[in-house]
Protein backbone atom coordinates (compact mmCIF):
# COMPACT_ATOMS: atom_id res chain seq x y z
CA UNK A 1 0.00 0.00 0.00
CA UNK A 2 1.14 3.49 -0.78
CA UNK A 3 1.23 6.58 1.47
CA UNK A 4 1.85 10.12 0.25
CA UNK A 5 3.47 12.69 2.53
CA UNK A 6 2.71 16.14 1.13
CA UNK A 7 5.86 17.51 2.84
CA UNK A 8 9.00 16.21 4.56
CA UNK A 9 8.18 15.73 8.26
CA UNK A 10 10.24 14.66 11.28
CA UNK A 11 11.85 11.32 10.31
CA UNK A 12 9.78 9.30 12.74
CA UNK A 13 6.76 9.55 10.42
CA UNK A 14 8.46 7.82 7.49
CA UNK A 15 10.15 5.32 9.80
CA UNK A 16 6.83 4.17 11.23
CA UNK A 17 5.21 3.90 7.81
CA UNK A 18 8.14 1.97 6.28
CA UNK A 19 8.39 -0.35 9.28
CA UNK A 20 4.74 -1.22 8.71
CA UNK A 21 5.47 -2.20 5.13
CA UNK A 22 4.04 0.76 3.26
CA UNK A 23 5.57 2.38 0.22
CA UNK A 24 6.21 6.02 1.14
CA UNK A 25 6.19 8.78 -1.45
CA UNK A 26 7.15 12.25 -0.27
CA UNK A 27 6.74 15.59 -2.00
CA UNK A 28 10.33 16.79 -1.78
CA UNK A 29 9.91 20.55 -2.25
CA UNK A 30 9.58 22.77 0.82
CA UNK A 31 6.50 24.50 -0.60
CA UNK A 32 2.81 23.93 -1.07
CA UNK A 33 2.05 20.90 -3.26
CA UNK A 34 -0.13 21.90 -6.22
CA UNK A 35 -3.40 20.10 -6.94
CA UNK A 36 -1.87 18.65 -10.11
CA UNK A 37 1.18 17.31 -8.23
CA UNK A 38 -1.00 15.97 -5.44
CA UNK A 39 -3.07 13.94 -7.88
CA UNK A 40 0.02 12.89 -9.85
CA UNK A 41 1.90 11.63 -6.78
CA UNK A 42 -1.02 10.60 -4.61
CA UNK A 43 -3.99 9.96 -6.91
CA UNK A 44 -3.52 6.22 -6.29
CA UNK A 45 -2.36 6.47 -2.65
CA UNK A 46 -4.09 4.46 0.09
CA UNK A 47 -3.27 7.10 2.69
CA UNK A 48 -2.22 10.75 2.65
CA UNK A 49 -0.38 12.61 5.40
CA UNK A 50 -1.40 16.23 4.84
CA UNK A 51 -0.55 19.70 6.14
CA UNK A 52 -3.07 22.28 7.30
CA UNK A 53 -2.18 24.31 4.22
CA UNK A 54 -3.24 21.53 1.79
CA UNK A 55 -6.80 22.13 0.67
CA UNK A 56 -8.89 19.00 0.33
CA UNK A 57 -12.16 20.23 -1.16
CA UNK A 58 -14.76 17.92 -2.66
CA UNK A 59 -13.18 18.33 -6.12
CA UNK A 60 -9.91 16.74 -4.96
CA UNK A 61 -11.47 14.26 -2.56
CA UNK A 62 -13.72 12.81 -5.24
CA UNK A 63 -10.66 11.99 -7.33
CA UNK A 64 -8.93 10.04 -4.53
CA UNK A 65 -10.36 6.65 -5.45
CA UNK A 66 -7.90 4.48 -3.45
CA UNK A 67 -7.61 6.72 -0.43
CA UNK A 68 -8.83 5.38 2.91
CA UNK A 69 -7.33 7.94 5.24
CA UNK A 70 -6.27 11.58 5.23
CA UNK A 71 -4.14 12.18 8.32
CA UNK A 72 -3.81 15.91 8.96
CA UNK A 73 -0.59 17.08 10.61
CA UNK A 74 -2.49 19.63 12.77
CA UNK A 75 -5.20 19.79 15.37
CA UNK A 76 -7.34 22.00 13.10
CA UNK A 77 -8.89 20.39 10.02
CA UNK A 78 -10.78 23.25 8.37
CA UNK A 79 -8.64 22.60 5.27
CA UNK A 80 -10.55 19.36 4.64
CA UNK A 81 -14.15 19.01 3.48
CA UNK A 82 -15.12 16.46 6.13
CA UNK A 83 -18.56 15.82 4.64
CA UNK A 84 -17.08 15.00 1.22
CA UNK A 85 -14.45 12.76 2.85
CA UNK A 86 -17.09 10.89 4.86
CA UNK A 87 -19.24 10.39 1.76
CA UNK A 88 -16.21 9.01 -0.06
CA UNK A 89 -15.54 6.65 2.89
CA UNK A 90 -12.27 8.37 3.82
CA UNK A 91 -11.31 8.54 7.50
CA UNK A 92 -9.91 11.94 8.51
CA UNK A 93 -7.65 12.21 11.56
CA UNK A 94 -5.90 15.10 13.35
CA UNK A 95 -3.24 15.54 16.06
CA UNK A 96 -4.95 16.79 19.23
CA UNK A 97 -3.51 16.88 22.80
CA UNK A 98 0.18 16.63 21.98
CA UNK A 99 0.40 20.23 20.75
CA UNK A 100 -1.70 21.70 23.54
CA UNK A 101 1.22 22.75 25.75
CA UNK A 102 3.22 24.17 22.85
CA UNK A 103 0.29 26.27 21.65
CA UNK A 104 -0.70 27.39 25.15
CA UNK A 105 2.93 28.44 25.78
CA UNK A 106 2.86 30.52 22.61
CA UNK A 107 -0.44 32.16 23.54
CA UNK A 108 1.11 33.06 26.91
CA UNK A 109 4.22 34.40 25.16
CA UNK A 110 2.00 36.64 23.01
CA UNK A 111 0.04 37.72 26.05
CA UNK A 112 3.19 38.70 27.96
CA UNK A 113 4.76 40.12 24.82
CA UNK A 114 1.76 42.40 24.30
CA UNK A 115 1.42 43.34 27.98
CA UNK A 116 5.10 44.30 28.28
CA UNK A 117 5.58 45.51 24.68
CA UNK A 118 8.48 43.12 24.11
CA UNK A 119 8.97 43.42 20.31
CA UNK A 120 8.57 47.20 20.46
CA UNK A 121 11.11 47.40 23.31
CA UNK A 122 13.55 45.12 21.50
CA UNK A 123 13.33 47.29 18.39
CA UNK A 124 13.80 50.44 20.48
CA UNK A 125 16.98 49.00 22.01
CA UNK A 126 18.40 47.74 18.70
CA UNK A 127 17.69 51.10 17.12
CA UNK A 128 20.13 52.62 19.64
CA UNK A 129 17.41 54.64 21.39
CA UNK A 130 18.12 53.38 24.92
CA UNK A 131 19.94 56.29 26.49
CA UNK A 132 19.17 55.63 30.15
CA UNK A 133 16.54 54.34 32.58
CA UNK A 134 13.38 56.43 32.50
CA UNK A 135 10.37 56.39 34.84
CA UNK A 136 7.92 56.28 31.96
CA UNK A 137 9.82 54.29 29.36
CA UNK A 138 7.67 51.70 27.54
CA UNK A 139 5.14 51.18 30.31
CA UNK A 140 3.05 48.06 29.99
CA UNK A 141 0.27 46.29 31.86
CA UNK A 142 0.59 43.94 34.83
CA UNK A 143 -1.20 40.59 34.70
CA UNK A 144 -2.04 40.05 38.38
CA UNK A 145 -5.66 40.76 39.17
CA UNK A 146 -6.58 41.24 35.50
CA UNK A 147 -9.33 39.24 33.83
CA UNK A 148 -8.51 36.83 31.03
CA UNK A 149 -11.42 35.86 28.76
CA UNK A 150 -10.96 32.48 27.12
CA UNK A 151 -13.16 32.09 24.04
CA UNK A 152 -13.46 28.34 23.55
CA UNK A 153 -12.46 26.37 26.65
CA UNK A 154 -11.28 23.20 24.95
CA UNK A 155 -7.89 21.63 25.59
CA UNK A 156 -5.80 24.61 24.50
CA UNK A 157 -8.07 27.27 26.01
CA UNK A 158 -7.98 25.49 29.37
CA UNK A 159 -4.20 25.08 29.22
CA UNK A 160 -3.82 28.84 28.65
CA UNK A 161 -6.14 29.55 31.58
CA UNK A 162 -4.08 27.34 33.92
CA UNK A 163 -0.93 29.21 32.95
CA UNK A 164 -2.65 32.57 33.39
CA UNK A 165 -3.90 31.57 36.81
CA UNK A 166 -0.29 31.09 37.90
CA UNK A 167 0.22 34.76 36.96
CA UNK A 168 -2.63 35.78 39.26
CA UNK A 169 -5.25 36.35 36.57
CA UNK A 170 -9.00 35.88 36.99
CA UNK A 171 -10.47 33.57 34.35
CA UNK A 172 -13.79 33.88 32.53
CA UNK A 173 -14.75 31.76 29.52
CA UNK A 174 -17.31 31.03 26.89
CA UNK A 175 -17.96 27.51 25.74
CA UNK A 176 -20.93 25.49 24.49
CA UNK A 177 -20.96 23.38 27.65
CA UNK A 178 -20.10 24.28 31.22
CA UNK A 179 -16.74 22.85 32.30
CA UNK A 180 -17.12 21.92 35.96
CA UNK A 181 -13.67 20.46 36.55
CA UNK A 182 -12.03 23.42 34.82
CA UNK A 183 -14.09 25.83 36.93
CA UNK A 184 -13.14 24.17 40.21
CA UNK A 185 -9.46 24.00 39.20
CA UNK A 186 -9.09 27.58 38.06
CA UNK A 187 -12.04 29.44 39.54
CA UNK A 188 -13.12 30.22 35.97
CA UNK A 189 -16.63 31.58 35.42
CA UNK A 190 -18.70 30.92 32.29
CA UNK A 191 -20.13 34.04 30.65
CA UNK A 192 -22.11 34.94 27.55
CA UNK A 193 -19.70 36.18 24.90
CA UNK A 194 -20.94 39.79 25.07
CA UNK A 195 -20.30 39.86 28.83
CA UNK A 196 -16.90 38.24 28.41
CA UNK A 197 -15.88 40.87 25.85
CA UNK A 198 -17.04 43.70 28.08
CA UNK A 199 -15.35 42.40 31.23
CA UNK A 200 -12.01 41.01 30.05
CA UNK A 201 -8.70 42.87 30.09
CA UNK A 202 -7.15 40.13 27.96
CA UNK A 203 -8.92 37.85 25.49
CA UNK A 204 -7.49 34.65 24.01
CA UNK A 205 -9.23 32.85 21.15
CA UNK A 206 -9.36 29.06 21.05
CA UNK A 207 -12.18 28.14 18.69
CA UNK A 208 -11.90 25.79 15.74
CA UNK A 209 -12.72 27.41 12.39
CA UNK A 210 -16.16 26.33 11.15
CA UNK A 211 -18.99 28.04 9.28
CA UNK A 212 -20.32 29.08 12.69
CA UNK A 213 -17.08 30.60 13.99
CA UNK A 214 -16.01 32.46 10.83
CA UNK A 215 -15.99 36.17 11.86
CA UNK A 216 -17.12 35.21 15.34
CA UNK A 217 -15.41 38.43 16.45
CA UNK A 218 -17.06 40.68 13.88
CA UNK A 219 -17.02 44.48 14.15
CA UNK A 220 -20.05 44.49 16.44
CA UNK A 221 -18.47 42.13 18.94
CA UNK A 222 -15.04 43.78 18.68
CA UNK A 223 -16.69 47.09 19.59
CA UNK A 224 -17.71 45.53 22.93
CA UNK A 225 -14.07 45.18 23.99
CA UNK A 226 -13.10 47.08 27.09
CA UNK A 227 -10.91 50.12 26.31
CA UNK A 228 -7.27 49.05 26.62
CA UNK A 229 -7.95 45.33 26.13
CA UNK A 230 -5.39 42.93 24.65
CA UNK A 231 -6.47 40.35 22.07
CA UNK A 232 -4.55 37.12 21.36
CA UNK A 233 -5.28 34.79 18.43
CA UNK A 234 -3.51 31.45 18.08
CA UNK A 235 -6.59 29.73 16.55
CA UNK A 236 -7.51 30.78 13.00
CA UNK A 237 -7.37 34.21 11.38
CA UNK A 238 -10.80 33.97 9.78
CA UNK A 239 -12.40 34.18 13.23
CA UNK A 240 -11.61 37.92 13.56
CA UNK A 241 -12.61 40.88 11.39
CA UNK A 242 -9.01 41.99 10.81
CA UNK A 243 -9.89 45.32 9.18
CA UNK A 244 -11.93 46.35 12.16
CA UNK A 245 -9.25 45.16 14.57
CA UNK A 246 -6.73 47.41 12.81
CA UNK A 247 -9.03 50.40 13.38
CA UNK A 248 -9.25 49.63 17.09
CA UNK A 249 -5.48 49.14 17.37
CA UNK A 250 -4.80 52.38 15.53
CA UNK A 251 -6.87 54.41 17.98
CA UNK A 252 -5.47 52.36 20.92
CA UNK A 253 -9.01 51.36 21.90
CA UNK A 254 -7.34 47.95 21.85
CA UNK A 255 -3.99 48.26 23.65
CA UNK A 256 -2.33 45.48 21.63
CA UNK A 257 -2.96 42.29 19.68
CA UNK A 258 -0.85 39.16 19.46
CA UNK A 259 -1.51 37.21 16.27
CA UNK A 260 -0.16 33.86 15.09
CA UNK A 261 -2.77 33.32 12.36
CA UNK A 262 -4.31 35.38 9.54
CA UNK A 263 -7.35 35.38 7.29
CA UNK A 264 -5.46 35.00 4.02
CA UNK A 265 -2.42 33.12 5.19
CA UNK A 266 0.40 33.39 4.26
CA UNK A 267 -0.67 36.87 3.10
CA UNK A 268 -1.02 39.36 5.95
CA UNK A 269 -3.31 42.38 5.86
CA UNK A 270 -0.71 45.09 5.18
CA UNK A 271 -2.10 47.64 7.64
CA UNK A 272 -0.89 45.41 10.50
CA UNK A 273 2.71 46.14 9.49
CA UNK A 274 2.21 49.84 10.18
CA UNK A 275 1.32 49.30 13.83
CA UNK A 276 3.68 49.07 16.82
CA UNK A 277 1.06 47.51 19.06
CA UNK A 278 0.61 44.23 17.25
CA UNK A 279 2.86 41.16 17.42
CA UNK A 280 2.85 39.13 14.20
CA UNK A 281 4.06 35.52 14.29
CA UNK A 282 4.23 33.11 11.32
CA UNK A 283 1.73 30.46 12.51
CA UNK A 284 4.16 28.78 14.92
CA UNK A 285 1.75 27.70 17.66
CA UNK A 286 2.82 24.06 17.61
CA UNK A 287 6.38 24.77 16.48
CA UNK A 288 8.41 23.04 19.19
CA UNK A 289 10.70 20.10 18.56
CA UNK A 290 8.71 18.06 21.09
CA UNK A 291 5.28 18.79 19.64
CA UNK A 292 6.28 18.34 16.01
CA UNK A 293 7.90 14.96 16.71
CA UNK A 294 4.85 13.72 18.59
CA UNK A 295 2.57 15.05 15.84
CA UNK A 296 4.59 13.14 13.21
CA UNK A 297 4.35 9.96 15.26
CA UNK A 298 0.61 10.28 15.86
CA UNK A 299 -0.15 11.25 12.26
CA UNK A 300 1.77 8.21 10.98
CA UNK A 301 0.16 5.86 13.49
CA UNK A 302 -3.30 7.06 12.47
CA UNK A 303 -2.50 6.00 8.90
CA UNK A 304 -1.08 2.65 10.04
CA UNK A 305 -4.20 1.88 12.05
CA UNK A 306 -6.67 2.72 9.31
CA UNK A 307 -4.75 0.84 6.61
CA UNK A 308 -4.47 -2.18 8.94
CA UNK A 309 -8.19 -1.95 9.60
CA UNK A 310 -7.83 -0.94 13.24
CA UNK A 311 -9.48 1.99 15.04
CA UNK A 312 -7.78 5.28 14.15
CA UNK A 313 -6.31 6.90 17.28
CA UNK A 314 -7.73 10.39 16.79
CA UNK A 315 -10.44 10.43 14.09
CA UNK A 316 -12.52 13.51 13.36
CA UNK A 317 -15.22 11.70 11.35
CA UNK A 318 -16.93 8.35 11.69
CA UNK A 319 -16.75 5.89 8.84
CA UNK A 320 -18.65 2.61 8.89
CA UNK A 321 -16.35 -0.27 9.71
CA UNK A 322 -14.20 1.85 12.04
Active site annotation includes 236: yes
**Which of residues 154, 285, 312, 315 is near ligand GLV by CB under 6 A?**
285
Q: Is 52 in the site for ligand GLV (CB under 6 A)?
A: yes
- The stretch among 3-11, 68-76, 141-149, 180-188 that binds ligand GLV (CB under 6 A) is 68-76
CB 121 to ligand GLV: min, Å: 14
Q: Does 152 bind ligand GLV (CB under 6 A)?
A: no
- Is residue 96 within 8 A of residue 155, CB to CB? The reply is yes
Q: At what angle do helices 289-307 and 100-115 cross, to 10 degrees?
A: 150
Buried b (16+ CB within 10 A) or exposed e, 280-298: ebebebbebeebbbbbbbb
Contact with ligand GLV (CB under 6 A) among 17, 48, 74, 207: 74
Calculate ∠ Cα 181-182-186, nearest 5°.
120
47 binds ligand GLV (CB under 6 A): no
Q: Does the active-site annotation cover 283?
A: yes
Do 296 and 286 meet the contact criterion of CB atoms below 8 Å apart?
A: no
Kindly give the interhelix angle for 100-115 and 155-166, rounded to the nearest 10 degrees: 50
- The 170-199 site mask, x for binding ligand GLV (CB under 6 A), equals ------------------------------
Catalytic residue check, 265? yes
From CA 31, how far away is CA 108, in angstroms rounded? 29
Interface residue with ligand GLV, options 3, 22, 38, 76 (CB under 6 A): 76
**Residue 164: burial class (beta carbons within 10 Å; 0-12, 13-18, 19+):** buried
Measured distance CA(50)–CA(93) in Å, rounded:
10
Measured from the CB atom, the residue of 69 and 316 that comes closer to ligand GLV is 316
Q: Looking at 117, 206, 221, 236, which residue is catalytic? A: 236
Residue 286 engages ligand GLV in binding (rule: CB under 6 A): yes
**By the criterion CB under 6 A, which residues form the site for ligand GLV?**
52, 74-76, 99, 285-286
Amino acid sequence: MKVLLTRKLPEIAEKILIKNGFEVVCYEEDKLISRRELLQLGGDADGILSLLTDRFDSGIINKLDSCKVISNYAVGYNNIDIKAASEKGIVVTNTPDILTDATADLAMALLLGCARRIPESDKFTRDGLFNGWKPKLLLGIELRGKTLGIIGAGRIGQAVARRAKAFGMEIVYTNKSKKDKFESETGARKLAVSQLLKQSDFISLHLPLTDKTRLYLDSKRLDLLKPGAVLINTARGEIIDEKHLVKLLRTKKVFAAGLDVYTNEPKIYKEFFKLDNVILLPHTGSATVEARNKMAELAANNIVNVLKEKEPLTPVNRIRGF
